[in-house]
Amino acid sequence: MLYIGIDLGTSACKLLLVDEKGCVRNTVSKEYPLCFPHPGWSEQDPGDWWTACREGMPELLAGFDAREVRGMGVGGQMHGLVALDETDAVLRPAILWNDGRTAEETAWLNDTVGRPVLSARTGNIAFAGFTAPKLLWMKKHEPELFARIRKIMLPKDYLVYCLTGVHATDYSDASGMLLLDVEHKCWSRDMLALCGISESQMPRLYESFAPVGTLLPETAAALGLPQGVTVCAGAGDNAAAAVGTGTVSTGAAHADSRCNISLGTSGTIFISSEKFGVDATNGLHAFAHADGGWHLMGCMLSAASCNKWWQDAIIGTNDYKGEEAKIAPEMLGRNHVYFLPYLMGERSPINDTNARAMFVGMTMDTARADMTQAMLEGVAFAIRDSFEVAKGLGLSVPRSNICGGGSRSMLWKRILANVLGIPLDVVKTSEGPGYGAALLAMVACGEYETVAQACSALVRTVDTVEPDASLTALYEERYRQFRQIYPVCRALFPKLL
Rounded to an integer, the average pLDDT of 402-411 is: 92
Active site residue 237: yes
Smallest CA-to-CA distance from 375 within 307, 436, 319, 424 is with 307
Provide the b/e sequence for 23-37 (b: ≥16 CB within 10 Å): ebebbbbbebeeeee
First-to-last C-alpha distance (Å) of the chain: 54
Determine the distance from the C-alpha atom of residue 213 to the mean position of all C-alpha atoms in its chain, rounded to a whole number: 25
Which of 140-144, 183-187, 247-251, 379-383 is the least confident region? 247-251
Residue 63: predicted pLDDT: 95
8-state DSSP, 348? T
Smallest CA-to-CA distance from 244 within 409, 384, 80, 74 is with 74
Asked if 265 and 408 count as a contact pair (C-beta separation under 8 A), the reply is: no
Q: Is the pLDDT of residue 430 over 80?
A: no
Provide the b/e sequence for 280-298 (b: ≥16 CB within 10 Å): eebbbbbbbbbbbbbbbbb
Of the pLDDT bands very low, low, confident and very high (cuts 50, 70, 90), residue 393 is confident
- Long-range interactions of 387-391: CB distance < 8 A, separation 24+: 387/269, 387/298, 387/420, 388/349, 389/279, 389/281, 389/283, 389/284, 389/298, 389/348, 389/349, 390/257, 390/269, 390/271, 390/279, 390/284, 390/296, 390/298
* Phi, psi at 103, each rounded to 5°: -55, -45
User: For residue 469, what are the CA distances in angstroms to 160, 328, 380, 476?
Assistant: 47, 19, 17, 10
d(CA 369, CA 439) in angstroms, rounded, equals: 40
Which residues fall in the annotated binding site for substrate?
A: 78-79
Q: Is the pLDDT of residue 491 over 60?
A: yes
Residues 36-74 pLDDT 10s: 999 889 999 999 999 999 999 999 999 999 999 999 999
Residue 478: predicted pLDDT: 98
Look at strands 2-8 and 12-19 and give their pairing: antiparallel
d(CA 389, CA 280) in angstroms, rounded, equals: 9
Task: Write down the catalytic residue from 237, 279, 291, 385.
Answer: 237
The SS3 call for residue 268 is: strand
Of the pLDDT bands very low, low, confident and very high (cuts 50, 70, 90), residue 104 is very high
Q: So where are the chain's domains?
A: 2-238
8-state DSSP, 170? E
Average pLDDT, whole number, for the chain?
94
d(CA 295, CA 335) in angstroms, rounded, equals: 34
Fold of 2-238: Nucleotidyltransferase; domain 5 (3.30.420)
User: What is the pTM for the complete model shown?
Assistant: 0.88
Residue 390: predicted pLDDT: 87
Residue 254: predicted pLDDT: 47
Which residues fall in the annotated binding site?
A: 78-79
* Phi, psi at 279, each rounded to 5°: -80, 155
Residue 273: predicted pLDDT: 83
**Alpha-carbon Rg for the chain in angstroms:** 22
